[in-house]
Copies of this chain bind each other. A is one copy, B any other.
Amino acid sequence: MELRACLIGFGKVGRSFASLLIKNKKILEKINVEFKVVCIYTRKYRLFNDKGIELDKAIFSLDNLGERFDDINDIMATKNIDFLMDFSVSSFTNGEPGYSLIKCALNNGINVITVSKAPLALHFRELIELAKKRNKILRYQGTVMSGTPAVNLKEILPSLVVDKIRGILNGTTNFILTKMEEGFTFEDALFEAKKLGYAEEDPSIDIKGIDSAAKLVILANTYFDENYSLENVKISGIESISKGQVDEATKNKSRIKLIASAEKDNLIVQPKMLKDDDIFFNIIGINNCVEFDTQYGRILLSGPGAGALNTAYGAFSDLILSIKQIFNR
A residues within 8 Å of B by Cβ? Answer: 24, 27, 147-149, 152-153, 155-159, 276-279, 281-283, 289, 296-304, 307, 309-310, 313, 316-317, 320-321, 328
Contacts and interface: CB of A to CB of B under 8 A. Distances in A.
For the complex, would chain A's binding face be called helix, strand, loop or mixed by DSSP majority? mixed
20 contacts: A147-B297, A149-B156, A149-B157, A156-B321, A158-B321, A159-B316, A159-B320, A276-B276, A277-B282, A278-B282, A296-B304, A296-B313, A297-B304, A297-B307, A297-B310, A298-B304, A299-B301, A299-B302, A300-B301, A300-B303
Given A148-B299, A152-B156, A156-B321, 20 more contacts: A27-B158, A27-B159, A147-B297, A149-B156, A153-B153, A155-B155, A157-B317, A158-B317, A158-B320, A159-B320, A276-B276, A278-B282, A279-B282, A296-B309, A296-B313, A297-B304, A297-B310, A298-B304, A299-B303, A300-B302
A296 B311 CA distance: 10
Indicate how many identical chains form the complex. 2
Contacts of A317: 156-159
B157 A156 contact: no
A156 B156 contact: yes
